[in-house]
Chains A and B, each alone.
Chain A
Amino acid sequence: MRLRLNIRYKLAFIFCLPALILICVGEIIGYFWEYHPLRHALLLSAILFAFLLPIAFISGGILVKSLKKLQQATEEIAKGNLDCRINIKSGDEMEQLADSFNEMIATIEGKRGPVEERSATHEKPVPRRYQKILQTSAKATLHVLEDLVKAEDDLDLSQQSFHSIVEKSADAIIIVDRNGYVRYVNPAAETIFEHKKEDLMGDLFGMPLNHERREIDIFRLKGGRGTGEMTVTETTWLGEKADLVTVHDITERKIAEEKLIKLDQLKTDFVSTVSHELRTPLTIMKEYASIISDELPGKLNPGQRKYLSIIEGNIDRLSQIIEDLLDISRIDAQKVVLKREFVDLASIINDVVTQFKPQADGKQIEFKTGFPASLPPLYIDADRIRQVFTNLIGNAIKFTPTNGKIIAEIIDNEKEFECRVTDTGIGIAPENLDKVFTRFEQFDRTEGSGAKGTGLGLAITKALIQLHRGSIWLESELNKGSKFIFTLPKYTPAALLQEHVMNSLKEAATSASAMTLFNISLADPSKLKEEFSQERLDSILKEIEGLLRKSLRGRGDIVLRDSGGLVYFLVNCDKEDALKVESRVRQKLSDYLVGQGLAEKMKLYFGRATYPDDATSAEELMKKARPEVDTSKT
């Protein structure tokens, strides 16, 4: 501000002052010599100066304008804005000055840039005459440096913030050095472990530090026990490698979980008790009704027979409702465990068809079945698949009017087995197709009261198919009929074992439980084939499989059989347990072989591997369980 006024008025003053002096000198001369010619000349000069005054004022303004631009630019740079440039196009020194200024800013900008650029621009000579401006720009550089210092301060501040996060964290944060000594604890650690910082620091941490999340027991000073979730990660502490341990207090969650488990158990017990309580009277009713209907106590007249059959029919209906309710509740609780074995699916369908034959005959419904030319045994839960076919064929009969037709077939479509139940029944309207598999949905009932079900049958059917890793859908046309289609995946025993072991491993890893894979092989199968027929061998293996199956202990345990031997897989079986199981199984099998007179001819080799003791992956487990078959003796 001062600069602008000064230059302008200084210029004016420079023009004003000689004019005044000239006037003054003229007046002094006039005093002595009133008509001295010089006096007029001086006055004339003063008038000339006075005339030049506005010109000087204006040109001073132009100069100031340029200087103002320069000053503003300098201020901008001082703020750290190096993008500003001065635009003066006067064609004189002022423009040169502006150009040099711009150049200089570019140089400064280069200094903030990458190193290569900096060295390139650094050597550019700065015109000497603009050194003052260079000083101003140095000031700007200083500002930049100040910014940098400020950034450093910010960093300190954020360090403080981080520090306060660690200090305020609800999780215990502990640094343990490589010798196992505690080097740092945050206040939450004091709270969770109920120990003073001084007591914890420098002490041995005392827990193994493997780098995985796990639950730990927290024994509190004031008594009582808690649970923490501990995570260990590698870090550095004061330049040395150390472990960063965080402990999240999950005591309350754990208590809630335990409560839930108790509640769940209560529910299971309830279902179990109620079902037992309901079944016993039902069994008694059913038994005596059938004793009467078999005329053990005496002859029945036609009326008695008719009414008795109504009683029996409703006992069955009640039993079915109880079974359905139990099934659906167990499906919801994920308690349904398939008991899979290799089963002839065609014979299951034939059984169900035979079972419904009297009902179908009553309505003059024709039954047809269709199976592939060669159908291998499928690895399924026979009871559950029978239940599926009972539901589907039962429904088909229910909704097919007299003189209809029902086809039950299996189609081998390479990828999987497709089962179809087709009827010529009343069909299902398109808007209801989605609801078919929804529980408690019943619609389009035109039949009498006897046709009512629970509305659970197809919901259960769908769940059972899904448990078998298949899918189910239907095609239907109103008044034409319905076609229910479901698929059953194809498995080789090896693929099945692989899948099963992998799934079980996952479960074992999360629940920290053990599992054992046994492999029982026949010694020298080729020699055995010379001695026994394939059928005989198969039947022996099947017997052995049956023996093993009897000692399965629960969910997840399986026995698989292939041409060369058997695989026997137990979850929740640790190494110690496995030894006992093996000796028991050996005894059982040898009893069987001796009993069959096969002890001499048939030798069995046992292999065994336990997770996590012997192997940690499915492949490793299967490899290590393979027995070393000694062929030299045979």
Chain B
Amino acid sequence: MTKKKILVVEDEAELTGAIQIRLEQAGYEVLIAYDGQDALEKARTENPDLIVLDLMLPKIDGYKVCRMLKFDEKYKKIPVVMLTARAQEKDENLGYEVGADAFITKPFKYQVLLAKIAELLGGSVFKSL
């Protein structure tokens, strides 16, 4: 049984570290990307089961990363959870427009993130064979 792979895209290394600890604790395999370009490369080469994507990223921002993936037949099925700071309503509306599947507002409770991921991945941490 292979664990489901989650790509975490977040430029704050320490926050990424905390998310990684929680996701690994929950039983997922975690991949890390610190900028938009890296995220796109890893999404295309590593074929993750889900992407946790921050909005503000170096090189290519989260919206663009999401749009590029969602407009690509090959990757559009990968669920995207966006991490946003709830400063403006338009963040969220724009996010849905580019095809994000869920939103989590910072500061978030890790339980919420885990619950959202579980919902989008259909509950199991393992890939079905």
Contacts and interface: CB of A to CB of B under 8 A. Distances in A.
Interface of A: 268, 271-272, 275-276, 279-280, 282-284, 286-288, 290-291, 296, 319, 326, 335, 337, 339, 550-555
Interface of B: 12, 14-15, 18-19, 21-22, 25, 56, 85-90, 93, 96-97, 106-108, 110
Given A288-B18, A296-B21, A319 B107 contact: yes
A319 B105 CA distance: 12
B87 A276 contact: yes
A279 B106 contact: yes
A555 B19 CA distance: 32
Q: Is the interface of B mostly helix, strand, loop or mixed?
A: helix
Given A326-B87, A552-B96, A553-B97, A291 B21 contact: yes
Nearest to A316: B107
B89 A335 contact: yes
A290 B85 contact: no
A386 to B, nearest CB: 14
Contact of B88 (A279, A280, A335, A550): A335
A279 B87 CA distance: 10
Given A550-B96, A552-B93, A268 B106 contact: no
B93 A287 contact: no
Given A272-B85, A275-B86, 12 more contacts: A279-B107, A282-B107, A283-B106, A284-B12, A284-B14, A287-B19, A290-B110, A296-B25, A326-B86, A550-B96, A553-B93, A554-B89
8 contacts: A276-B56, A279-B85, A280-B12, A280-B85, A282-B107, A284-B18, A287-B110, A296-B25
A551 B86 CA distance: 19
B96 to A, nearest CB: 5
Nearest to B111: A290
Given A287-B18, A288-B18, A296-B25, A272 B88 contact: yes
Contacts of A552: 93, 96
A390 to B, nearest CB: 15
A280 B105 CA distance: 11
B31 to A, nearest CB: 19
Nearest to A326: B87
Q: Is the interface of A mostly helix, strand, loop or mixed?
A: helix
Contact of A272 (B15, B18, B87, B97): B87
B123 to A, nearest CB: 19
A279 B84 CA distance: 10
A288 B18 CA distance: 6
Given A280-B106, A551-B96, A287 B87 contact: no
Nearest to B90: A554
Contact of A280 (B15, B25, B90, B110): B15
A288 B15 CA distance: 9
Give the one of B56, B85, B89, B93 with max A CB within 10 A.
B85
Give the one of B18, B86, B107 with max A CB within 10 A.
B107
Contacts of B21: 291, 296
Contact of A291 (B18, B90, B106): B18
Contacts of A553: 93, 97
Contacts of A286: 107
Contacts of B89: 335, 337, 339, 554-555
A286 B18 CA distance: 10
Contacts of A280: 12, 15, 85, 106
Nearest to A268: B88
Nearest to B56: A276
Contacts of A279: 85, 106-107
A584 to B, nearest CB: 11
Contacts of A551: 96-97
A341 to B, nearest CB: 14
Contacts of B107: 279, 282-283, 286, 319
A280 B12 CA distance: 8
A524 B95 CA distance: 36
A554 B87 contact: no
B111 to A, nearest CB: 9
